[in-house]
Amino acid sequence: MKYLLKYSALTILFFAFFNCATEPMEFLDGSTNAFVEEIENAVAAEAHCNDADPKARITNNGTVEVNLEVYDVAGNLIGYEYNVEPGHHSDWSDFSAGEITFLVSNGSSDKLIVCNMGTCMTFNIEVDANNQLTTNQVHL
């Protein structure tokens, strides 16, 4: 009786280890496989960057058209995407590395984002359903 509690816990642990099962990948649904493939493609793209210029785009999940303007450190307009409709995203705009200013506007408000963009960096600016910026993080 002295070791009954220890033996009980050990028995439960023993059964927990040997009652686990794994399912092969072919039983996963297509969306999970697509997600895994997307991650693998992203990792492969990062591995083959080769000092590519940084790039940015805007994804509009809002209800009004949005504009994106890209400026260099001297204030020169180096890229733009105008009238991105709700439910759409712009093309990627490439530019030289350095301090970059992004101006996002929707006709009633403007938002400035300043980032130090290096080679191989991407910036997907997202506007949510309430026409507010939800993402302003740069990815390597």
Tell me the per-residue pLDDT of 107-118, one tens digit each, with 9 for 90 and over. 888 899 998 999
The answer to whether 102 and 56 have CB atoms below 8 angstroms apart is: yes
Q: Which residues of the chain fall short of a pLDDT of 50?
A: 21-29, 31
pLDDT of residue 96: 92
Q: What domains can you pick out in the chain, each with its CATH number?
A: 4-47 (no CATH), 55-139 (2.60.40)
The answer to whether 133 and 123 have CB atoms below 8 angstroms apart is: no
Nearest CA-CA partner of 126 in 64, 57, 78: 57
